[in-house]
Structure 1
Amino acid sequence: MPVPPGLSAPLGCDAVGLPARHGFRMMAHLSRPGCVFADADWWWWIVPAESDLGLVWPQPARYVPGAYVPATRPRLIHSPEGGAPYTPPIPLYLMVCRVAGTAPAWSTVPRQGS
């Protein structure tokens, strides 16, 4: 998913997707959503690269490195007020856990190669 013109993504971009039925609920509870893309089936939030470090994003969420969303061409439905495309990953993760009905789980084990 391309970052809109005028926004800077110095931290790289990954994406977190949820089924569309959760989209409006997520947006209502996020205080500073970044770029959000959507199609009929999925909503995608842009997060800084490696926002999966130490986290396991629960189902039904999908974590996509590089923000390369498979098979669809979602359209931009929300642009952030600031100059960066990012949704803060920790509040997003906590909301995803709430939607999934799971407790947040943090890992202190570094990723292999880190």
Structure 2
Amino acid sequence: MPPGLSAPLGCDAVGLPARHGFRTMAHLSRPGCVFADPDWWWWIVPAESDHGLVWPQPARYVPGLYVPATRPRLIHSPEGSSPYTPPIPLYLMACRIADTVPAWSTVPHQGS
């Protein structure tokens, strides 16, 4: 994580193939930290952003601050002090890329 950024909600990562990177960035109003290698772009989202969502292929959801990329480099820093990309707009873009309808789970979150 770049210095000066706070991640109080924990971090997970959502990856999309690099060929969709610029298109996805263009449709997000507040992207957070984005890392990339030649094959994948990775957006940092709050931990458990997969709860209630079925992330469609080709998106990859990875829990923890591990970005499974070969020598990833930071290609976008957020304007504020939060590293997060809002997960719902990113999820909707992933659905658009996958040409699929968003799927919302009805299972209640534990502790709710």
TM-score, normalization by structure 1:
0.93
Kept after mapping to 1: 8 A contact 2:37/2:69: no
Letter paired with 1:50:
E
Please report the RMSD computed on the Cα atoms of aligned residues, expressed in angstroms.
1.2
Task: Provide the residue aligned with 1:50 in structure 2.
Answer: 48
1:23-102 alignment, distance < 5 Å: 23-70=21-68, 72-102=70-100
Aligned residues: 111
Task: Extract unaligned runs of 5+ from structure 1.
Answer: none
Give SS of 2:91's match: helix
Q: What's the secondary structure of 2:20's corresponding residue?
A: helix
Please give the TM-score of this superposition, normalised by the length of structure 2: 0.94
Structure 1 runs of 4+ aligned residues shifted over 2 Å read: none
Unaligned runs of 5+ in 2: none
Secondary structure of 2:15's aligned partner? strand
